[in-house]
Amino acid sequence: MIFLMDLQMMLLDVLYSILRATVQLVFKPRSKPVDGELVLITGAGGALGRLFALEFIKKGAEVVLWDVNASGNEQTAKLVREEGGTAHPYTVDVTNREEVYRAADLVRKDLGRDVTILVNNAGVVAGERMLDCPDEMLERTMKVNCHALFWTVKAFLPQMKTQNHGHIVTVASVLGLFSTACVEDYCASKFAAVGFHESLAHELAAEEIEGIKTTLVCPYIVDTGMFEGCRIRDEAELFLSPLDPLYCVEEAMNAILIDQPMVCIPRITYLAYICRALLPWESNVITYRFTGSDKCMYPFVDAMKKRTTNGLSQLT
């Protein structure tokens, strides 16, 4: 009897959550204020990290910038300050857990406060076919795109729990929801990032910690040069072309500010995600071939190989 009552309540809650999500598609929830929040962004020296920093300071937040590239990171800090924001750049290799923990302690010591919003944005790709790719490059992709998530969250989540206040953002990829050929390292790392984020979100929900929010960001290929040369069928690109970086970050920010648990950018990629789950494997293969998604990374891998070859020839 108790089971049947619990089942009934569960079904009603599921129906309510579906209706609520449907309504929110039309009437978006009010954005939460982030003025005064301390936002830490990894990969802050790159295109997306820089835009995240500029968008957060527009909302009145203070930003901590982490990147292994000191010059790029300082450039982001300079742009933030020129816009009237406050930036604190730190050169940090997020693949080194001890360095992450030391840097986290240093941030708390320097600023006298805790990070309240963590944006795990750092990401890399090897850009070579698996059998041609050095093991060290494959490991690097996993360390940056996946392992670093553990170190940064372990560094800042305890303080968020103490305050029952915070927000953890994971910038993954649609290639963490469905895959394609020749980027095994990237797809594996982003699938891992999605799994990590969802498990963490479930853990916070199971512990009934309502003050810490999570947002999983899964963009399509962003036009930052990271996947330069990647192409799908011309007709398909009318509906699914590489994303403008600013558009991508603005859509992610919209999701963060309304505490949306997950956002795929653009929305059409939700369809591919659903098809992967519901359709037979052969059906997805046929669809990939039709859109040119099955070999879309071939030009990218070839271009990376040429750049590497030219670089080596210039050094010899």
Catalytic site residue from 186, 247, 288, 298: 186
- The C-alpha atoms of residue 228 and residue 190 are separated, in whole angstroms, by 19
Question: Per the structure block, which two tokens stand in for 92?
Answer: 């940090």
SS3 of the chain: helix, strand, coil, percent, to 5? 60, 15, 30
Residue 186 known to be catalytic: yes
Secondary structure (3-state) at 88: strand
43 backbone φψ class: left, alpha, beta (φ>0; ψ -120 to 50): left
HSE at residue 1, side-chain half, CA atoms within 13 A, is 0
Residue 52 makes CB contacts below 8 A (sequence gap 6+) with: 41, 44, 119, 121, 249, 252, 253
Q: Which of 89, 144, 87, 96 is nearest to 121 (CA)?
A: 144
Alpha helix ranges (H) inside 132-244: 135-142, 148-163, 184-206, 234-237
Question: Per the structure block, which two tokens stand in for 128?
Answer: 């070579």
Angle (deg, nearest 10), helices 47-58 and 70-82: 30
- 90-48-190 Cα angle (round to 5): 95
Q: What are the catalytic residues? A: 186
